């Protein structure tokens, strides 16, 4: 049985979900961002307990198909921006449509309607958070970061960074408090 979980965006979230399911005596098959597969069917009592325990951690068990689809869109974006260094062979809209088996226009309209922002804006927000993370680690140059996140140029990255954060990349690097958000808080 598959369960879909809102706001499950990091490894820590996966650990919390795994622990809470084990407490209920349920056996995990697979735990991915936004979804988990268990061996058995979950009873209504277990479902309510699981919902309550997830809520304490800022997570939410989802039941309706549109919410599940929105979380799948977010999952694809988060995996692409935060956990993959490979470039896409097709443009993102085609990639998303292919992954989720829906027309991109439908996905984009649904996402905008539910989230109050476009898919493109959501991608930009996540790319900027990833840039912040990479700047904090100081292992890559701005040129390498731009290349890794598929920006057309360093100038494009710098302009987008300034537009979103109000700071230049060099000013951000010099800050003592890095102003990064955890993925689960975005």
pLDDT in tens, 76-105: 999 888 888 776 667 889 999 999 999 999
Residue 50: its pLDDT value, please? 94
Residue ending a domain, among 63, 78, 103, is 63
Residue 183 pLDDT > 70, yes or no?
no
- pLDDT above 90 as % of the chain: 62
In a shared domain, residues 135 and 98: yes
Strands (E), the chain: 2-6, 28-32, 35-38, 60-62
Same domain flag for 71 and 31: no
The first and second tokens of residue 180, run together, are 């990064």
Residues 59 and 82 in one domain: no
Where in the sequence is the domain holding 24, given as residue range(s)?
2-63
In Å, what is the CA distance from 21 to each residue of 43, 113, 116?
A: 12, 32, 32
How far separated are the first and last CA of the chain, in Å rounded? 28
Number of folded domains that form the chain: 2
Task: Give the tokens for residue 52.
Answer: 């309550």
């Amino acid at each position: 049985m598959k369960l879909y979980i809102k706001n499950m965006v990091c490894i820590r979230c996966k650990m919390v979900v795994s622990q809470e399911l084990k407490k209920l005596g349920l056996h995990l098959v697979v735990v991915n961002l936004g979804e988990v597969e268990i061996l058995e069917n979950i009873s209504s009592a277990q479902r309510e307990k699981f919902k309550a325990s997830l809520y304490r951690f800022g997570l939410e068990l989802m039941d309706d198909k549109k919410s599940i689809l929105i979380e799948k869109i977010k999952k694809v974006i988060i995996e692409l921006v935060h956990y993959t260094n490979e470039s896409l062979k097709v443009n993102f809209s085609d990639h998303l449509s292919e992954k989720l088996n829906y027309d991109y226009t439908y996905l984009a309209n649904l996402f905008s309607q539910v989230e109050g922002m476009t898919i493109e804006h959501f991608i930009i927000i996540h790319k900027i958070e990833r840039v912040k993370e990479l700047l904090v680690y100081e292992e890559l140059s701005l040129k390498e970061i731009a290349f890794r996140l598929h920006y057309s140029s360093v100038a494009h990255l710098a302009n987008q960074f300034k537009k979103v954060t109000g700071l230049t990349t060099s000013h951000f690097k010099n800050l003592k408090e890095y102003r990064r958000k955890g993925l689960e808080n975005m």
